[in-house]
């Protein structure tokens, strides 16, 4: 079995869904499991709904209707008959959403987030599955929440691999086209959980691992894995093949083409990963597989914007020792702040971090009791794998360099715009 993943950009409108159908016609769809994300910017739109819900805003209903209107337009573009069963199915999802918001008693933002945002994937796969059946491409729709079981760490759930393996082995049909949702799972109480933002790639890897799949293909709007993000770097080139190790390194440092957690289960069973273009599906794209000889022969550039550079020093000029660093990392973990670079001296300790949950103010308040805290917000972290002096100088040009750190293969620079 092959596992395919299509992201939100590939199903953002009716033409996109028709293109996914065309892709499957060209590359084959028998014995395939397709993981699909929410359509377009639906996740962002649902985040607005959640904000309005917690703010008790008068705009709540309007924000829900905005999401509904967007999907209704796609339905109208795909189906001639408004009596088609898909219209009632999508209506029920929105009815269930309103019922949940009306009856929910939990003040836990992360819990509510997962119950609401997850509906984007449910709606998208509902529409795609119905459309494929409508045009003669028979498929089985699977509710991933009944298959992937997790703990109850809402918004960043940990997979229960044993239970998940049993569920997937039992419910995924061979020799057919299976369609399911990315990003989602459920806990022991059957409440929806999510696997972390952009977690649909990870979902594909989970299925591939449990099914001993032939391969995983992530379909993107780029020709494959590039050595740099073309939004920020000129003359980006395609990497035809890279090793799992190199892909994991790139993902760890922030490359957005492949989700960081995706590669680990694939590497365990040596399942190759392909990154291909849904615009030109017959092009080879990038292959990620086992092999120490698959290192890129060029520098690879990664940039993470909107980072925080936090610098801590002891209040009494004493050394920053192991026990201090251990405490700092415990707090970073507690407040779910991801560290992207570390640098320390005798009496200071600096970290570049990604505060995706907006918890820095709370962390700063706690740290200030023991340390002198300074920080720079909105900094950029540039990472260059297989760097040269020339590539490092080019990245630093016309920028204020706050931190520069070099290892054997990697150069990292924290900058502010000059």
List, as residue ranges, the binding site for ATP.
231
Enumerate the known binding-site residues.
121, 231
**E strands in 140-209:** 140-141, 177-181, 184-186, 192-194
Enumerate the known binding-site residues for substrate.
121
Q: Angle of helix 60-78 relative to helix 119-134, nearest 10 degrees?
A: 20
Tell me the sheet residues that pair with 414.
Answer: 381, 403
The residue to which tokens 């529409």 are assigned: 127
Evaluate whether 148 touches 185 at the Cβ level (below 8 Å): yes
Give 6's contacts (C-beta < 8 A, 6+ positions apart).
20, 34, 35, 36, 37, 219, 278
d(CA 44, CA 182): 16
DSSP letter for each residue of 344-405: E-SSEEEEEEE-TT--HHHHHHHHTTTEEEEEEEEEEEEEEET--HHHHHHHHTTEEEEEEE
Tell me the sheet residues that pair with 338.
Answer: 354
d(CA 23, CA 287): 18
């Amino acid at each position: 079995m092959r596992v395919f993943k299509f992201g939100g950009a590939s199903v953002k409108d009716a033409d996109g869904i028709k293109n996914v159908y065309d892709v499957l016609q060209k590359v084959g769809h028998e014995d395939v499991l397709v993981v699909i994300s929410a359509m377009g910017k639906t996740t962002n739109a649902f985040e607005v709904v959640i904000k309005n819900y917690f703010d008790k805003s008068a705009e709540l209903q309007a924000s829900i209707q905005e999401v509904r209107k967007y999907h209704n337009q796609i339905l109208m573009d795909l189906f001639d008959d408004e009596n088609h069963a898909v219209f009632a199915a999508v209506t029920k999802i929105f009815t269930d959403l309103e019922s949940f918001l009306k009856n929910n008693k939990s003040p836990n933002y992360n819990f509510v987030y997962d119950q609401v945002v997850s509906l984007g994937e449910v709606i998208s796969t509902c529409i795609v599955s119905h459309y494929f059946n409508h045009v003669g491409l028979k498929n089985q729709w699977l509710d991933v929440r009944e298959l992937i079981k997790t703990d109850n760490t809402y918004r960043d759930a940990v997979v229960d691999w044993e239970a998940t393996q049993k569920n997937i082995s039992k419910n995924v049909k061979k020799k057919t086209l299976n369609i399911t949702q990315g990003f989602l799972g459920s806990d022991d109480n059957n409440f929806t959980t999510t696997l972390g933002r952009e977690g649909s790639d990870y979902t594909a890897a989970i299925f591939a691992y449990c099914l001993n799949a032939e391969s995983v293909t992530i379909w993107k709007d780029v020709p494959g894995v590039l050595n740099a993000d073309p939004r920020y770097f000129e003359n980006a080139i395609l990497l035809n093949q890279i090793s799992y190790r190199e892909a994991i390194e790139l993902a760890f440092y922030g490359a957005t083409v492949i989700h960081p957690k995706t590669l680990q289960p694939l590497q365990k069973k040596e399942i190759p990963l392909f990154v291909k273009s849904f615009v030109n599906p017959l092009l080879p794209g990038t292959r990620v597989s086992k092999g120490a000889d698959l290192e890129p022969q060029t520098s690879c550039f990664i940039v993470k914007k909107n980072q925080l550079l936090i610098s801590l020093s002891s209040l009494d000029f004493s050394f920053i020792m192991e026990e201090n660093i251990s405490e700092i990392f415990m707090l970073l973990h507690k407040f779910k702040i991801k560290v992207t670079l570390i640098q320390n001296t005798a009496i200071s300790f600096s970290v570049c971090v990604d505060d995706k949950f907006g918890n820095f103010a709370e962390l700063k308040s706690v740290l200030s009791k023991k340390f002198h805290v300074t920080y720079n917000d909105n900094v950029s972290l540039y990472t260059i794998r297989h760097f040269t002096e020339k590539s490092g100088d080019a990245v630093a040009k016309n920028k204020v360099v706050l931190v520069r750190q070099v290892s054997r293969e990697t150069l990292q620079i924290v900058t502010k715009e000059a």
